[in-house]
Structure 1
Amino acid sequence: MIQSMTGFGKHVVQLPTKKITVEIKSLNSKSIDLNARMPSAYREKELEIRKVIANSLQRGKVDFNLYIEITGDEASGQVNESVVKQYMNQLKSIANGEDIQLLEMALRLPDAMRTDREDIDEEEYTAILEALKGALTEINTFRSEEGSVLENDFAERIKALQTLLEKVLVMDPERQSAVRERLEKAVQDVKAEVDANRFEQELIYYLEKYDITEEKVRLANHLDYFVKTLKSKDSNGKKLGFISQEIGREINTIGSKANYAPMQQLVVQMKDELEKIKEQMLNVL
């Protein structure tokens, strides 16, 4: 079962005096590209948190946000009284004003508030890990649901390619006959004597040069292998991408060898279906 790299997860844990919110968003990327935003007090835990996220999500451009909101009587900062008083005295020397007005202005100036760094509370950190686990569960569920949609789309595209390949198989004898007739007519138009045996040898060589039997067999095998890989338990985005490249290679070769307009039209339709698969493949984990 495949998974998408696109997803979103959010989980909230309420403590007696704080509300902890974890949000995780992911988009497609060739590898894990993690951007983490969290309060400075928890920066020492960043590597541990990154490891947990990377092990769960594996690939993708990931944005991790940790919000800690104080909901009780606890204060996150204190007024730096000495600095504020100095600001007010300086402001008084510049212009007359009420103390309350001067205080409002002083509190907006740098270093008017101070925040004392606190040690990490183990209970709080445990709650953060719980919120992280919940958010990861949500985003992986989201990814699986998106992956299911992609899987159905891939299955339809592959089925369309198999149908087009069947049309190519049916059309191939007609194509070979048309190529042969076109060559014979070209020789007749020249109105020159041609050695029948030599002409037959050249004709066989020409038809063999444009024979697409191997390409048809390989393309059918690649399509079957794609379906088999799609149904595997693991999400194999990179493997499916490699198979898509091989499918494209065989389609291109058939197109270059076709030398027959109706078959080339089928090849164009096959390329269109494959291009849609490749576009969606960028989102597969």
Structure 2
Amino acid sequence: MIFSMTGYAARTLDVGQGVLHLELKSVNSRYLDFQFRVCDELRASELVLRELFSARLSRGKVECRISLSAAGAAGSAPALNLELLCRLRDLEAQVRRRMPWAHAFSVNDLLQWPGMLDEQTPDAEVLSARCLELAGAALEDFIASRAREGEKLAAVILERVTRMRALIEEVTPSIPAAQAAFQEKLKQRLLEALGSVDDERIRQEVAVFAVRIDVAEELARLSTHLDEVERVLQTGGACGKRLDFLMQELNREANTLGSKSVTSVVSQTAMELKLLIEQMREQVQNLE
């Protein structure tokens, strides 16, 4: 399976005293880079989350956001701390016996008193365990989204490989005749220019030039590299760096093919090959 470095996933989980929301998204990067934005209650879980994600991901700039919200949680309405309320009532009575002019507590004063509202917070260990549970589910969604994107990218690359093979197969049969014609033309020009030079010497010079313009090796290496691209894609996994190297090698052979060309057909083919290679390279840079 081929994976893109671009992906997204989001999950929520009701933990009783609140709702956990976790969001994962990633973009391209040469290495695996994490950015965490975690609520204070789960700050201690960041290291464990990093280990969880690192075990399944190898490249990409991954952003993880985790928040804990009371909105929508079951039983989220806070209860009054009746014991504390009674204590404050008794204390107020004692104060007013000694200071009758003192102001009485208002409802707002009582509600804002520390500990008056029994807002239960989840146990730290329980909350951390539920967060890991949520992160595991979100990670599976995240990897699935990267796999879907990777499948599309692989299809684009393979389509370009097919087009490159067609170009190579189309131009290969015409090359020997074109090179032979060019050599004969070169021989005639040398004879006309030099006249009295020994014919054997001219043949030697033409033969040397023929070696320089021979593109059979470049065409063979192009085909070999295309075979390797297909093999890597079929193998799957984290293959982005390997494919990026192959794109460099393909581009090198296409450049050499163009520099050795002695016909417009080969030159045009080299240009089209380079265009297809560049299109593949753009897609490869998105792969994990």
Q: TM-score, normalised by structure 2?
A: 0.80
Q: By how many angstroms is 1:52 displaced? A: 1.1
Distance 1:227 1:145 in 2: 18
- Distance in 1 of aligned mates of 2:160 and 2:139: 31
1:36 aligns with 2:36: yes
The 5 Å alignment of 1:230-249 reads 230-249=233-252
**8 Å contact kept, 1:9–1:25:** yes
Q: Deviations over 1:220-267 (max 9, x none)?
A: 111111111110142311111112211111111111111322110000
Matching residue of 2:46: 46
Task: Report the secondary structure of 2:145's partner residue.
Answer: helix
The aligned residue for residue 96 of structure 1 is none
Distance in 2, Cα, partners of 1:47 & 1:221: 44
User: Equivalents in 1 of 2:245, 2:182: separation in Å?
Assistant: 34
Aligned to 1:229: 232
Counterpart secondary structure, 2:149: helix
- Map residues 134-153 of structure 1 onto 2, 5 A cutoff: 134-153=137-156
Q: Return 258-267 or 41-50, whichever deviates more.
A: 41-50
Kindly tell me the number of residue pairs found equivalent between the two proteins: 247
8 Å contact kept, 2:41–2:124 = no
Asked if 2 retains the 8 angstrom alpha-carbon contact of 1:24 and 1:62, the reply is yes
TM-align CA RMSD: 2.3
| Structure 1 gap segments, 5+ residues each | 76-102, 108-117
Q: CA deviation at 1:188?
A: 4.8
Quote how far apart the aligned CAs of 1:19 are. Answer: 0.6
CA contact (8 A) 1:23 1:66 kept: yes
Q: 2:196 aligns with which of 180, 193, 198?
A: 193
1:73 aligns with 2:77: yes
Question: 137-146 or 187-196, which moves further after superposition?
Answer: 187-196
Amino acid at match of 1:169: T
Which range moved further: 169-178 or 146-155? Answer: 169-178
**Distance in 1 separating the partners of 2:222 and 2:207:** 24
Paired letter, 2:136: K
Match of 1:88 in 2: none
Letter in 1 for 2:28: N
> Percent same amino acid among aligned pairs?
31
TM superposition shift of 1:283: 0.6
Q: Distance in 2 between matches of 1:11 and 1:163?
A: 46
Contact 2:45 2:128 in 1 (8 A): no
Q: Could you list the per-position Cα deviations for residues 95-149 of structure 1 after superposition, in whole angstroms to 9, with x for gaps in the alignment?
A: xxxxxxxx9xxx9xxxxxxxxxx89522221211111111111111101111110
- Which residue of structure 1 lines up, in the alignment, with residue 221 of structure 2? 218
Q: How far apart, in 2, do the equivalents of 1:233 and 1:244 lie?
A: 17
Closer, same or farther: CA 119–145 of 1 in aligned 2, 3 Å: closer
Structure 1 residues 182 and 121: alpha-carbon distance in aligned structure 2, compared to 1, 3 A threshold: same
Distance 1:191 1:125, change over 3 A: closer
The answer to whether the 8 A contact 1:41-1:120 is kept is no
What SS does the corresponding residue of 1:57 show, helix, strand or coil?
coil
Whether the aligned pair in 1 keeps the contact of 2:261 and 2:267 (CA below 8 Å) is yes
Amino acid aligned to 2:246:
I
Q: What letter matches 2:129 in structure 1?
A: T
Question: Residue 207 of structure 1 is aligned with which of 192, 195, 210?
Answer: 210
Please tell me whether the aligned partners of residues 187 and 202 of structure 2 are also in contact (alpha carbons under 8 angstroms): no
Q: Residues 169 and 48 from structure 1, CA distance in 2 versus in 1: closer, same or farther, beyond 3 angstroms?
A: same
- Which string of whole-angstrom CA distances, capped at 9 and with x for unpartnered residues, describes residues 38-63 of structure 1? 11232222111112122222210111
5+ residue gaps, structure 2, are: 80-108, 113-120
Which residue identity does 2:253 align to in structure 1? E
Return the alpha-carbon distance in structure 2 between the equivalents of residues 2 and 52 of structure 1: 20
